[in-house]
Amino acid sequence: MPTAQLINELQSCGVRLVDPKAGHESRRGGAGPSDHKALTIDGMTVMVPVHTAPAFESPYVVDKPDALGRSRLSRDGVMLAAVSFPTRPRFYDRSTADGIPYWKIALLHSHDVLATTVLQSCIRYQSRTKTCQFCAIGQSLAAGRTIERKTPAQLAEVAKAAVELDGVRHMVMTTGTPPGRDRGAAILAESAAAVKQAVDLAIQGQCEPPESDDWFARMREAGIDALGMHLEAVTPEVRARIMPGKAQISLERYFDAFAAAVPVFGRGQVSTYILAGLGDTAESILSTCEKLIAIGVYPFVVPFVPISGTPLESYPAPSPAFIHAILSPLAQMLRAGGLNATDIKAGCGKCGACSALSTYERRAAT
Ligand code: SF4
C-alpha cells in the first residue's frame, strides 16, 4: 500500500506524465473534482491531478508506460514505486442504438466505479455571480465529451454493460441542479429505478438538499442505496465567496436534511464532500466533521484541485501538511464514531480515490 503521505503529496502536487496519452481518457471538466487520471500504486487506485497548473510543475514524474500499462513513479530521478494505469474499459467501445458512445453517458472512475452526471447543466452555472467557482460542469458539455441529459434507459443500458464487461462494482449518479424544488432528486430517482431494473448495482445519488425531506424515502425506494449532499465548504464566509449561489441553501438546511436522510439510508450511508483548501481552516473543517459524524454522516474530505478553465484555476492547491492535519485526526474521529469507508454501499466515500482518507482510516485501525 502506498503511504498516506505519498498519496497526499501526489494529490496536492499532481504528477507530470512523460506520455500525456498514458492510461485511458482522463477526467477533464465535468461536475466535482476533475483534471485527474487514475493511477494504481501497489494495488491501490488513486485519482491524481495531471492537467492542472501545479501538475505541470510537479516534482513527481510518471514514465511512459509499457504495452501492459506498467510504469514507474519517480522524484528527482529516484524511483519511488511501480505504478500502472487502469486499462481502457471495454464498455467505452459500445454505442447506443441512436449512436451515442457509452463513454459520453458514463465514465469509469478509479478502477471499479461507474460515474455519470445525469443532468450536465445547472441553474447555478450560467451566472458568474452564482456559479460554484471550482466547478467545470459545462466544460465537458461544451467540448462535446458528454451529452446534457442522460435518459434512464441510456443509463440502464450503459450500467448493465459496465457490470458485465468491466466488473464495475458501484455507481455514482450526480447531477447539476435543475430548476424546481426537488433539486435533482426526481431525475436521480427515475434513473436509479431504471438501472436497478437492468442490473444489480449499488448506487449513490448526489444532489443538493431537496426542499422536502419526503424525497429521501422516494429516492431510497427507487433504488438509491447511499446519498451524498455536498457541503464543499463549511464556513458561511467561504461558502459565500466560493459558491455564492449554493450558499443560499443554509448550513442549517443541510444539517436538517442530513438528520432526515440518515434514518432513511442508514448511519454511514449519507455522506458529504468537503473540499479542503478553499479557505476553511483545518479546525473549522474538523469541528464540522465532528458534528456530521455525531449524526451518522460520513465526511469525505478531499484536497481541492484547481481545475483549468474555472475561476479558481490559479488558486493554490492545499499543501500535503494541511491535508495531513485534517485527515489524520479525522480518521480517529471516524473510528471513534463507528463510521468506515468500507461499510458504505456505494459512492465517493467507498471509492475513496480522490482522497487519502481511507488510507488514514486503515492506519488508524492498526
Ligand atoms: S471518489 Fe468519487 S469523484 Fe473521486 S474517483 Fe471515486 S467516484 Fe469518482
pLDDT computed for residue 27 by the predictor: 54
- The Cα 267–Cα 338 span in angstroms is 9
Res 31 pLDDT > 60: no
Res 59 pLDDT > 90: yes
pLDDT computed for residue 57 by the predictor: 86
Q: What is the DSSP letter of 102?
A: G
CA dihedral for 283, 289, 292, 296, sign (positive or negative)? negative
Res 366 pLDDT > 90: no
Q: Among 20-24, 75-79, 89-93, 187-191, where is mean pLDDT lowest? A: 20-24
pLDDT computed for residue 251 by the predictor: 97
Query: What is the DSSP code string of 193-217?
Result: HHHHHH---EEEEE-PPPSSTHHHH
Determine the atom of ligand 1 nearest the C-alpha atom of 36: 5
30 lines ligand 1 (CB under 6 A): no
pLDDT level of residue 111 (50, 70, 90 thresholds): very high
Res 154 pLDDT > 60: yes
302 lines ligand 1 (CB under 6 A): no
The contacts of residue 82 (CB under 8 Å, 6+ apart) are 41, 42, 70, 71, 72, 73
pLDDT computed for residue 204 by the predictor: 98
**H or E segment to which residue 187 belongs:** helix 185-198
Res 68 pLDDT > 80: yes
Res 78 pLDDT > 90: yes
CA angle 41, 86, 54 (to 5 degrees): 65
pLDDT computed for residue 365 by the predictor: 87
pLDDT computed for residue 266 by the predictor: 98
| Mean of pLDDT over the chain | 92
Based on C-alpha coordinates, what's the Rg of the chain? Answer: 19
pLDDT level of residue 136 (50, 70, 90 thresholds): confident
CA 81 remoteness from chain centre: 25
Question: Which position has the higher pLDDT, 20 or 117?
Answer: 117
351 lines ligand 1 (CB under 6 A): yes
Mean local confidence (pLDDT), 198-224: 98
Res 26 pLDDT > 60: no
Nine cell digits for residue 168? 464495475
- Tens of pLDDT, residue by residue over 300-313, are 999 998 888 888 88
Determine the atom of ligand 1 nearest the C-alpha atom of 47: 5
Query: CB–CB of 236/247 below 8 Å?
Result: yes
What separation in Å is there between the alpha carbon of 77 and the centre of ligand 1? 30
Does the global pTM surpass 0.85?
yes
50 lines ligand 1 (CB under 6 A): no
113 lines ligand 1 (CB under 6 A): yes
What separation in Å is there between the alpha carbon of 349 and the centre of ligand 1? 8
